[in-house]
Amino acid sequence: SKTRYAVRRLSEVEGLLVPFFEASHFKEFTVALDQASKSTLDVNRELLKRGIIGGKPLGREFPELGQTSLYCVTELHTVEDIESLKENIEEILEG
């Protein structure tokens, strides 16, 4: 249920797309930044500065996916963690 919550909350971020939004997810889901102002590497670099590990960029292994990363949410993540991820990504994309 936390993964579904994360998918829903991150899909609300302007410039960020959650492909396969309607699909069932266990713990992992993809996030695409092709329409965002920053690349996956830029976002991950900024997240890391804030103590957050971003998603695994998939573009090298799957060039057709462009600026898409694989994110994972487990039972160890709290709703506050998910909200923090969303808020930090929003700030990074705005800046």
Q: 33-53, pLDDT tens digit by residue?
A: 988 889 999 999 999 999 999
List, in sequence order, every beta strand (DSSP E) within 1-85.
28-32, 56-57, 68-72
Specify the pTM: 0.89
Q: How many CA atoms lie within 13 A of 1 on its CB side?
A: 2
Instruction: Give the Cβ contact number of residue 5 at 10 Å.
Output: 14
pLDDT in tens, 50-85: 999 999 999 999 999 999 999 999 989 999 999 999
9: pLDDT strictly greater than 80: yes
Question: How many CB atoms lie under 10 A from the CB of residue 2?
Answer: 16
CA dihedral 37, 43, 17, 90 (to 10 degrees): -80
Percent of the chain with pLDDT over 70: 97
